[in-house]
Amino acid sequence: MRGKLLFITGVGVGYVLGTRAGREKFDSMVAQARKVWESPTVQEAAGVVQSQATRLYDEGKQAVSGQVHRMQTNGRAVGATTDAPQGWDTTGSRPHSPANSF
């Protein structure tokens, strides 16, 4: 019983001392991170990265839209193909395969 009480007391003291030192260290790290983030060099780099990401997103969006448009104009839209996989009914949308075919 005495050992458990000493252990719990030690954990409590360690927790209190650790949280005080931990909070100060945490606040110090947050202040340093804000200082770095707000520096002009980092802000400039973030702006460059953001503009590149926006450009790449727009290019990808245009490429995908173009491919979808080409597929639709060529009669190859999903569901419009004439080559149905075996086991599928081409007149409906229900498979003729067993329900447990996964």
Q: What's the pLDDT score for residue 29? A: 77
Of the ranges 4-8, 16-20, 32-36, 44-48, which one carries the lowest mean pLDDT score?
A: 16-20
Whole-model pTM?
Answer: 0.44
Residue 88 has pLDDT above 70, yes or no: no
Give residue 24's Cα distance to chain centre. 32
**What are the pLDDT digits (tens) for 59-80?**
999 999 988 888 888 765 555 5
Q: Give yes or no for a contact between 20 and 12, defined as CB atoms under 8 angstroms apart.
A: no
State the pLDDT confidence band at 47, using cuts at 50, 70 and 90: very high
Give residue 32's Cα distance to chain centre. 27
Residue 94 has pLDDT above 60, yes or no: no
> Three-state SS string across 51-82, please?
HHHHHHHHHHHHHHHHHHHHHHHCCCCCCCCC
